[in-house]
Amino acid sequence: MTALFADVPGQHRAVAALTAAAHRPVHAYLFAGPAGTGKAAAARSFAAMLLCPNGGDGTCETCRRVLAGSHPDVVTVEREGAFITVEAARDVARLAARSPVEGQRKVLILPDFHLVREAGPALLKTIEEPPASAVFIVMAEYVPPELITIASRCVRVDFAPLAPATVTAALVAEGVSPDLAEELAVAAGGRLDRARMLAADPEFEARRRAWLSVPGRLDGRGHSAAVLADELVGLLDRSVAPLKARQDQEMAELEARNARALEVNGKVGRGGRGGLKAGVREMEDRHKREVRRQRTDELRTGLAILAGVYRDRLASASTPGAQRAAAEAVGLIAGLGAALANNPGELLALQALLARLGRQAVTA
Ligand SMILES: [Zn+2]
């Protein structure tokens, strides 16, 4: 393994396949796997291999620019709304049709294509009749029916969920203490990106303790459950702060890049949206999605910690009644976790869960 793919731990099979493929690439790849498994980092390294004049050393000027996201022949097409629009698919076609700026090849990275919906046919046409110079990297967390035909035109590379031990090892290599790394790996549910963010978040430990304290604070009264739910949702709100800080920095970098490009070329951007504002709206939309996702992820993490308390109780329960109560609590928490995707009313849902857990604590 070269310096490339160093930031893609635990995906040896995918990395080996890509390293082999880079010498004689086909024109479309599908990176399939859950969020936080390294698809985006692998796409950058693979793109560097495809453009590097030295076959992928990872250190030359081309490689460095690709990895930094500043090479003009590696373009990431971010979606603007909740789904990939037909307009975005047309953008892809337009971008693919342009000649490479520097070399013989250009790479188009297409994230979130499990959300392709009605844009599928437009994208399919581009991928079926690709310009000779274009290589597509389609990324998807799963393959919905709308993506099946596109997937069949791509070489598929699977990214498996990371084992907690892999996430732990990656964090330890980055300087996180082993004990904390292990906790973070579990809390992040096998997502390295999320574990990294929690590692950099000084408030995480306080949030963890708050969730751990929930069972001991439930007394069967609805009022206590409501107060506690309020407190936990307040923690969710504050958990967005580190993400917001990173987003502000990202936006500042984009604005600086636009200003530089404007100075050099007199224009920037794609699809006719040029000038200082190029890509700003897309980034704002993505940032909003990231904030929503962070809240959901954070709630899931909290529920995982809470379920852990009841699992420990289940393991040490000395009476059938206590056993039944703990098992039921684990089930209730899992039920809310599963419903989260369709349930924006997190406060009400959490209140209801805590009220039930509290009543159960009194009767058990
Ligand atoms: Zn290179």
In which band, very low, low, confident or very high, does the pLDDT at 138 lie, cut at 50, 70 and 90?
A: very high
Percent of the chain with pLDDT over 90: 52
Amino acid, single-letter form, for residue 63: C
CA of 39 from ligand 1 middle (Å) equals: 20
Contact (Cβ atoms closer than 8 angstroms) between residue 9 and residue 190:
no
Region 308-314 average pLDDT: 91
Region 261-289 average pLDDT: 70
pLDDT at position 83 over 80 = no
pLDDT, position 1: 41
In 3D, which of 194, 156, 146 has the Cα closest to residue 38? 194
Residues 267, 261: Cα–Cα separation, whole Å = 7
Q: Which two tokens stand for residue 357?
A: 């857990």
CA of 66 from ligand 1 middle (Å) equals: 9
Query: How does pLDDT run across 106-134, given as a tens digit for each residue?
Result: 999 999 899 888 889 989 999 998 999 99
Residues 361, 175: Cα–Cα separation, whole Å = 41
In 3D, which of 307, 294, 358, 301 has the Cα closest to residue 335? 307
What sections of the chain are H helices per DSSP? 12-21, 39-51, 61-68, 86-97, 120-128, 145-152, 164-173, 178-187, 192-199, 204-217, 222-238, 241-265, 280-316, 320-339, 346-363
pLDDT, position 364: 60
pLDDT, position 51: 96
* Sequence ranges of the domains in the chain: 12-158, 201-241+286-363
In 3D, which of 208, 202, 212, 191 has the Cα closest to residue 294? 191
CA of 307 from ligand 1 middle (Å) equals: 47
pLDDT at position 103 over 90 = no
Lowest mean pLDDT among 175-184, 216-225, 281-290: 281-290
CA of 63 from ligand 1 middle (Å) equals: 4
In which band, very low, low, confident or very high, does the pLDDT at 325 lie, cut at 50, 70 and 90?
A: very high
CATH fold group of domain 12-158: Rossmann fold (3.40.50)
pLDDT, position 266: 65
pLDDT, position 8: 93
First to last CA, the chain: 56
Residues 151, 52: Cα–Cα separation, whole Å = 27
Region 306-324 average pLDDT: 91
CA of 355 from ligand 1 middle (Å) equals: 58
CA of 45 from ligand 1 middle (Å) equals: 10
pLDDT at position 282 over 50 = yes
CA of 52 from ligand 1 middle (Å) equals: 4
pLDDT, position 198: 87
pLDDT, position 295: 86
Contact (Cβ atoms closer than 8 angstroms) between residue 168 and residue 178:
yes
CA of 229 from ligand 1 middle (Å) equals: 52
Residues 227, 115: Cα–Cα separation, whole Å = 37
Amino acid, single-letter form, for residue 178: P
CA of 65 from ligand 1 middle (Å) equals: 9
pLDDT at position 279 over 80 = no
DSSP letter at 69?
T
In 3D, which of 293, 187, 299 has the Cα closest to residue 236? 299
Residues 310, 183: Cα–Cα separation, whole Å = 17
CA of 165 from ligand 1 middle (Å) equals: 31
The mean predicted confidence, pLDDT, of the chain is: 88
pLDDT at position 341 over 80 = no
